[in-house]
Structure 1
Amino acid sequence: MIPSQREKYNKQINNEKYRTFIKDLEIGYPKIPFRVAETPVFIPKALKEKLVAAGEEIIKLIKQPNFKDITSPSIPPEWSVPHENDHPHFLTFDFGICKSEADGLTPMLIEMQGFPSLYGFQHHMGKTFTTHFEIDSSVNYFLNGFNEEKYIQLLKEVIIGKHQPHEVALMDVDAPNQKTAIDFFVTQKMLGIKILALTDIKKVGKQLFYEENGKQIHLKRIYNRLIFDEVANNPEIFKTSFDPREELDIEWVTHPNWFYRISKYTMPFLDSEFVPETRFLNQIDSIPTDLENYVLKPLFSFAGMGVIIDVTEQDINAIADPENWILQKKVNYEPAVKSPSGGVKAEIRMMYLWPDDGEPQLCISLARLSRGKMIGVRYNADFDWVGGTIGFMEE
């Protein structure tokens, strides 16, 4: 997207350098189970400013006094967790990079999450790119004036808070074996916190504990990476650990309710040039006649699971729970990243940290490259110059 940066980078990259880069990325960590792209995305200042402006519009909605009221129906009663805090600790907004007739490239919102992303791994990846390739100092993978020291300090403030690292744990249903486990291990190395599976944690009264070297350690804060959908079919797992829906003496980073509040559920409430027309399926009076221009999405799913791209009336009529689906105008990605074998589509995730008693701060980004019909890594397994990467944005 920045022609000079793209040309300079493409002259450096080859298969051997790519393999060496991946090998270095994995040193000291498990093998990465998803595809990392051959290149970062070089984002010009004009597009960066649009991405920042789009994020600010979304945050304005989230900070409205009535935001909890309008999003309360998003939380399934059976998964509501008590003691929700005032705001999420993480915000991530995914934008497809599209062609604007007026002024070049423009972002269009695809999804949003009030849930953690790869905050550890993205820094590790950006730093590794800079050690393996000559990347001009006019671009940076940190945003908003952050550098490594300031970024790690803010991560500690958000995730550890006022506690000691051993009193904080990153938790998932089976943390060491998740597809994103490399992010868990990078985060552990950066912050010194524990990585625990759900069943590693035991409840005594209202308090939570884990065992280390034969001792019971009091857990005070959970960096939550557990999505309830992952355990919905196995509620017995809580009986051998703890049930997050009970009254507990624990701090959540971030509280599980925010996963539902800030999600595709939020998109119909946004009115912006950067947000495609989005409506709840149960609020549509008549089915559009041009369904080829729409996509049907379940509200709560990850990595494109359940999305119907080529929508038919039969698809819509077959939905048993239309309140849990949205119908969204299709976003036409522009193949704006020039690879040696043609244009590649890009999606940019803008990643914010929101400390207790503070303001949301844009820190870093995630990018995904695609040649397939959808952006997710699983839909691009047979291509090169696709997969997860990071944005280097013009200062």
Structure 2
Amino acid sequence: MINSYRVSFNEQFSKEQYNLFLKELEKGFVEIPFRIAETPVFIPTMLKDQLIAAGAEIIAIIKDPNFKSLTEKSIPMEWKVPNESAHPHFLTFDFGICKDQSGKLSPKLIELQGFPSLYGFQSHLAKTIQQSFKLSSELTPYFEGLNEQSYLDLLKEVIIGKHKPHEVALMDINAPQQKTAIDFLLTAKYLGLKILSLSDLKKEGNHLYYLEDGKKVVLKRIYNRLIFDEIGDNTEVFRDNFDPREALDIEWITHPNWFYRISKYTMPFLKGDFVPTTHFLNDLKEIPEDLENYVLKPLFSFAGLGVIIDVEKKDIEHISDPENWILQKKVDYEPAVQAPDGGIKVEIRLMYLWPEEKEPVLCISLVRLSRGKMIGVRYNNDFDWVGGTVGLMEK
């Protein structure tokens, strides 16, 4: 990464300073249940340009008029929601940082989602890390010439739209108990919307409302953080509140169908220098001999659950629903960030906002550092200099 910033950061780093940074990050909000890394990642201009180019290639496919028909089978019939929007409002693309044949750093796509990520928290994290470690004012976490204020203005445009903040709710199955609760609280601080659990919403006709001081407040829009996979077969939770699969007078930001359309399901349709070879398991004509070079992933899971890193032939043969799995060429992560005791692997999530009747805007990044086989923060709790962080670039 940018060596001058890395050397300077490592020389002045202390555990005490890191602990003060964590306290500042949580102050006034809630204890963060996932690990925050000791360092940001200083993204060099050449790698930034490659990430931007890789994201643009993927977006071109998503914007293709045939994309919806191509991904129609991705949506389980039992979870299909009516009144789908023309496009998603959020796009996130995860890239592992590798070395290309010439020895230069290069991104490789790992996964993608048409679902929100930590859009509130990443801005707060970037500001806090820059202030706590007294980093150069020439560094920014934002793409496209954005700054903190213009980014939050865009976030408000996408999530609140033309409505009043109290008519919009961030909704999850049990919002205060989610690991991402700090992101919810920050989003509410920035935008003024309500944070509601599924049980807080009631239905009257085809309208949704919540109670505020004993009075009904009709909702116009839901900033949806509910993942149907978390519900599973427990659809009884809808009985006393509302069923998201019904035709309702509500705007979804973003519509739940996009969680499936833009997902691991999309990977086999993508080609290019930044995309590893990926096959639907049921489309395989034969099992590759070099399975050690592949990873096996279930289509409908999140946070790395169910992924098989060390694939054996029997793993494939024992799968009863091959149409719901992909076999993807392994990505060889480069230990590109230098910690005091060695190199750390890096994954960079590009985070886009897509306003109505406009183009997608690349806004900010979410970076994860890892020493283990799996990148997610849940797999790195026993190490230091790993976990979630943010990318910083020269302006």
TM-score range, shorter chain: over 0.9
1:176, distance to aligned residue in structure 2 (A): 0.6
RMSD of aligned Cα (Å): 0.7
How far apart are the structure 1 equivalents of 2:238 and 2:12? 51
How far apart are the structure 2 equivalents of 1:345 and 1:70? 34
1:139, distance to aligned residue in structure 2 (A): 2.5
1:149, distance to aligned residue in structure 2 (A): 1.1
Corresponding residue of 2:245? 245
How far apart are the structure 2 equivalents of 1:253 and 1:138? 34
1:103, distance to aligned residue in structure 2 (A): 5.0
How far apart are the structure 1 equivalents of 2:282 and 2:85? 30
Corresponding residue of 1:289? 289
Q: List aligned pairs for 1:162-311, cutoff 5 A.
A: 162-311=162-311
How far apart are the structure 2 equivalents of 1:371 and 1:244? 39
Q: Secondary structure at the match of 1:327?
A: strand
Mapped contact 1:48–1:394 kept (Cα < 8 A): no
Mapped contact 1:139–1:394 kept (Cα < 8 A): yes
Give the structure-1-normalised TM-score. 0.99
How far apart are the structure 2 equivalents of 1:312 and 1:365? 34
Counterpart residue type for residue 326 of structure 1 = I
Gaps of 5+ in 2: none
Q: List aligned pairs for 1:68-87, cutoff 5 A.
A: 68-87=68-87
**Range with bigger deviation, 74-83 or 131-140:** 131-140
> Per-residue CA shift, 1:104-152, capped at 9, x if unaligned?
1000000000000000000000000111112223331011100111111
How far apart are the structure 2 equivalents of 1:135 and 1:26? 20
How far apart are the structure 1 equivalents of 2:13 and 2:185? 28
How far apart are the structure 2 equivalents of 1:14 and 1:160? 41
Q: Secondary structure at the match of 1:176?
A: helix
Corresponding residue of 1:99? 99
> Per-residue CA shift, 1:209-230, capped at 9, x if unaligned?
0001111100110000000011
Aligned residue pairs total: 395
Residue 67 in structure 1 maps to residue 50 in structure 2:
no
Counterpart residue type for residue 268 of structure 1 = P
How far apart are the structure 2 equivalents of 1:333 and 1:103? 13
Residue 120 in structure 1 maps to residue 117 in structure 2:
no
Counterpart residue type for residue 291 of structure 2 = L
Give the structure-2-normalised TM-score. 0.99
> Per-residue CA shift, 1:243-273, capped at 9, x if unaligned?
0111100000000000000001001111110
Corresponding residue of 2:325? 325
Counterpart residue type for residue 136 of structure 2 = D
Identical aligned pairs, as a percentage?
67
How far apart are the structure 2 equivalents of 1:147 and 1:170? 24
Corresponding residue of 1:159? 159
Q: Secondary structure at the match of 2:239?
A: helix
Runs of 4+ in structure 1 displaced over 6 angstroms?
none
How far apart are the structure 2 equivalents of 1:336 and 1:369? 10
Corresponding residue of 2:55? 55
> Per-residue CA shift, 1:294-330, capped at 9, x if unaligned?
0000112111100000001100011111111000000
How far apart are the structure 2 equivalents of 1:144 and 1:221? 27
Q: Secondary structure at the match of 1:364?
A: strand
> Per-residue CA shift, 1:158-215, capped at 9, x if unaligned?
0001100000000000011001111000100000000000010000000000001111
Corresponding residue of 1:313? 313
How far apart are the structure 2 equivalents of 1:16 and 1:234? 45
How far apart are the structure 2 equivalents of 1:325 and 1:140? 38
Mapped contact 1:96–1:346 kept (Cα < 8 A): yes
Q: Secondary structure at the match of 2:17?
A: helix
Corresponding residue of 1:364? 364
